[in-house]
Structure 1
Amino acid sequence: MSEPASEPFAQTEPVEITLLTQDDCGFCEQAKQVLDRVGADFPLQVTEIDLATDEGRRLAAQAGVLFAPGILVNGQPFSFGRLSERKLRRTLRQHSLA
């Protein structure tokens, strides 16, 4: 018998999301909204880091983030620029099944 639709994923450990942002960034605000919506369905631990900081520049360089917002999932590069909610949900589903 399949799982109930209201509880499709049994993952208990939160997925670490690092959000690299900058001031006056429309896509950064859009990414925060996406993460809020997705966080209602998946356990997320979101850390926002400003790209103007040393840590932000270091992470962006390591992850190949060319412009804000940059997204890392469990420390691995995921995307930069406009965040695709569909792509993020698909990745989180795969992660929860692993």
Structure 2
Amino acid sequence: MTLPLELTTAIEDARRHAEEGRKGRPFDPVYVHTLEQLAIIDRHIRADDFSGLSPGEIDVGLMAVKELGSDEQGFAHALHVIQRYADAVTGENAENR
């Protein structure tokens, strides 16, 4: 399965940021949840079925909003991109959550 470059870059950036963040704060719920969500995405990609995401299965959008006010703008952007693609695949509208 070929994913858009914007999405693959966002997944890589989010993973890198969450893994680095967990080194200093291993139980930080933002980093833990991000890595859990990326594991779900990874499973769908390995199964060649990104379109098989269920509505609400990926929910990093609220974390993106939380992080926008911090020094982690790049992380927030990556989460936003991931959420936008997940919502497009599942037909969800992130603004309605």
TM-score normalised by structure 1 residue count: 0.34
TM-score normalised by structure 2 residue count: 0.34
